[in-house]
Amino acid sequence: MSYRAGNYERQGVRLHGQFCVVPAGASTRWTVSRPAQSLLLRLAPSLLQETAETLGLGSQGGELAPSIHIRDPHIERIGWMMQSEDREAYPGGHLFADSLAAALAVRLLTLQSRKPVSKSRTARALPAWQLRKVFEYIEANLDQDLRLADLAGVAGFSLSHFKPLFKQATGMPAHRYVLERRVARARSLMLEGKCSATEIALQAGFAHTSHMARCMRRIV
């Protein structure tokens, strides 16, 4: 394949699992010698900028540099998980995809940064009263398609600050906590025996009964 961005051009062989970075607003041209499939992931510049500030990379740290044919196991894993979510029509709603996007932003910025990434953000946990507000919001909206930004807003933090603070306070990421709460609600409704499996799945926030069953097997 060949890749052209402005006056920069490069040729090579695309290997399975590699990734390329195209900054926002860049104009690129790709030419491949035979049919191939790629997974295209777009990140909002605002997410990258917010993540850079959280990592202590400064105001310019959120600008990604163009790169081609890079291999990184963390980014490859994020890509496989995002592809799986897409193929299954996002059974867990936006929350898991939001978490993957935030993780991707952190990894991309960490890879290209020459400055040591600040780790002070993991030293704190979400204060108890703010954590309680988030828990109450989750319980009240468990049957809805929750967004990570909404949970961060309830806590009064930016998304990139909220993620590590929540995990430090609970020992698990927000999407995992929500999943466990959905399983707990589904179990409770099953024990009551008043609703069908489809009704239970919807009331607990699952996309369908097979998704609920799969999550219950994994957690319970």
| Ramachandran angles phi, psi of 12, nearest 5° | 180, -170
Same domain, 83 and 151: no
Element housing 2 (H / E): strand 2-5
57-115: per-residue pLDDT in tens?
876 777 888 888 889 999 999 999 999 988 888 877 889 999 999 999 999 999 988 65
Global model pTM greater than 0.85: no
How far, in Å, CA of 154 to CA of 133, rounded?
7
Cα first-last separation, the chain = 47
Same domain, 162 and 216: yes
Same domain, 166 and 193: yes
Same domain, 28 and 83: yes
Q: pLDDT class for 197, splitting at 50, 70, 90?
A: very high
- Which among 56, 88, 118 is the end of a domain? 118
Dihedral through CA 127, CA 133, CA 139, CA 143, nearest 10?
-110
Angle at 186 between CA 163 and CA 146, to 5 degrees: 30
Q: What is the pLDDT of residue 103?
A: 93
Tokens representing 188?
């409770």
Same domain, 58 and 103: yes
Query: DSSP readout, 12-52?
Result: --PPTT-EEE--TT--EEEE-SS----------HHHHHHHH
- Which among 118, 141, 173 is the end of a domain? 118
How much is the mean pLDDT over the chain? 88
Same domain, 92 and 15: yes
Residue 192 sits in which domain range? Answer: 125-220
Count of domains observed in the chain:
2
- Which among 70, 95, 118 is the end of a domain? 118
Asked whether the predicted pLDDT for residue 32 surpasses 80, the reply is yes
Same domain, 22 and 87: yes
Same domain, 114 and 22: yes
